[in-house]
Amino acid sequence: RMNKLKLSIASTDYDHFRNFRTGDVRAEGIDHTWSMLGHHEVFARFTANREWDVAELSFAKFSAQITRDDCDIVGLPVVCSRLFRFSSFYVNKNAGIKTVEDLKGKRIGSPEWAHSAAVYMRGWMHNDCDVKLQDVHWYQAGANAPGRVEKVELNLPEGVEITRVADKSLSEMLASGEIDCAIIARPPTCFLENHPDVERLFPEYLEMEEDYYDRTKVWPIMHIIAIQKHILDENPWVARNLFNAFNESKRRSLERMFDPAVSRYPLPWVPTYARKIQETFGEDPFPFGIDENRATWEQMLLYTHQQGIAHKHVAPEDIFPKGLMTKVVV
């Protein structure tokens, strides 16, 4: 067997990475050792120590690292996780918040400033709703347990202040009314336990998200794949070969989802719902690539710059390997 390049990869457990991870799909010329871990662990260890060659990374944390002057990583336009986020606003009923405009002057918490879900929604508030970053009292604390800390350096815009709370969680503070709202990726414990004072700001989030996509063609990306730059300096071919393998793995995942003959997921109507989604999103409802996601890349690169996470405002072409998406026509 020819000598293959050995690469270590870390991500959480995604169905659309499964065939690549198990070796049913191979990246040409590469042997991989895959660590399947929770994404918070991957982010923390890759950001602090670069423990893998290739790793899943929060788009917000990635944008801080990719825009450093001495940047040592580069991205792949492979989407690990993407979610619309209007469901991510949780409010205390006593704060009198009924609309996004009511958030002006309020106390809003998120687990980190460089938390992709919060970056998208703060950007939407700031750019689309006239609720500026400076109009809010921001708080940072762990979601359901105290002690979470920021993982990347920040350069906060003038007039933006964050109060960091080390000894309480956002869930506790939201339930007690110490904060008025939390923007958070997963429903906080207080909401899941039906705390009488906690509700979603936008219970009709699904309709809002469909309308938002219809207008903007932005399908928010939370986590992407990062590669240590020295690997591509030594082996420029690695980027596209990895991209091809991730893409084929995702294609098989979607094929499973659309197949009405094989019920692979323990839920009714998944293939029916999947086909309905294709009517809105096109044949591939979860595209990888630069042009395929241009509106989304551009929006996040703007928002992270506005919010003092990215060090400069860059274009999508600046964060991926040059020439990665060269067209191959047979």
The model's pLDDT over 224-269, given as tens digits with 9 standing for 90+, comes to 999 999 999 999 999 999 999 999 999 999 999 988 887 788 889 9
Average pLDDT over residues 272-296: 94
Flag whether pLDDT at 52 surpasses 90: yes
Average pLDDT over residues 188-204: 98
- Cross-sheet strand order for the sheet of 73-82: 30-36, 5-11, 54-58, 221-228, 73-82
pLDDT at 264: 83
Determine the Cα–Cα distance for residues 243 and 249; give it in Å rounded to an integer.
10
Nearest 10 degrees: Cα torsion 198, 200, 201, 203: -140
Is this structure's pTM higher than 0.85?
yes
pLDDT at 329: 85
Cβ contact 112:209 at 8 Å: no
Average pLDDT over residues 86-100: 98
Flag whether pLDDT at 309 surpasses 90: yes
pLDDT at 320: 98
CA distances from 255 to 129, 219, 258, 289 (A): 38, 21, 5, 19
Burial class (CB in 10 A: 0-12, 13-18, 19+), 80: buried
pLDDT at 1: 61
Determine the Cα–Cα distance for residues 127 and 131; give it in Å rounded to an integer.
8
Percentage of residues in the chain having pLDDT higher than 70: 100
pLDDT at 88: 97
